[in-house]
Amino acid sequence: MSNEKVKIAVFVSGGGTNLQALIDKQKSGVITSGEIKLVVSNNPNAFALERAAKADIKTAVVSRKECGTQLEFEDKLIALLEENGIELIVLAGFMCILSEHFTAKYPKRIINVHPSLIPSFCGKGFYGLKVHEAALAYGVKVTGATVHFVNEIPDGGEIIMQKAVEIEDGDTPEVLQKRVMVNAEWIILPQAVEKVSRGLLERTTVDNVR
């Protein structure tokens, strides 16, 4: 197999804790088949951009507000990805829904982490603390995180990995959010990125042999 690595772009909107987990796991050798080449944010003030800059990763901002339409926004993202030769996209707290115009262009090449065990507490309107609020309100005893491929249906793509996290007495949404991040998201997102990157490399090798 060649020494080439899959070129990865990470899409972010906020603090970038999942991005940091990916950067750390790339440094520690959990992610070896891919390399983060670009971090893209829809929010110019996202702290995730500072995390990327500190790790010497190229950054870009594409503001949905400054684009007249969703189509224009997605076309700008596509142009940016093509310019940088990106082969895999990781959504790490990216607060913009992507339409079929975008997702159909990258089948099984966009992955997302969601803070519940899909199909529970997922889909339109379930993001951030709202997911954990819903889990606690429903009274489930186990929650967790899911990494899945992204298609045009919010949280609707094929599941790649899941990890369960127990809910404890007295949990608040904030406490639960942190536990799910530490014990599930930050573990399975890098593992899934490595798994998908390795699969893409193997596919490329097979195609080259043909």
| Edge-to-edge strand list for the sheet holding 58-61 | 58-61, 34-41, 6-12, 88-91, 110-114, 142-149, 159-166
CB 21 within 8 A of CB 190: yes
- Which element (helix H / strand E) includes 51? helix 47-54
> What SS3 state is found at 47?
helix
Q: Distance between CA 24 and CA 81 in Å, rounded?
A: 23
- Does residue 114 carry a catalytic annotation? yes
Name the residue with tokens 């404890």: 168
> What SS3 state is found at 74?
helix
Cβ partners under 8 Å of residue 28, min gap 6:
none
Q: Which of 101, 114, 132, 148 is catalytic?
A: 114
CB 100 within 8 A of CB 21: no
> Which residues are catalytically annotated?
114
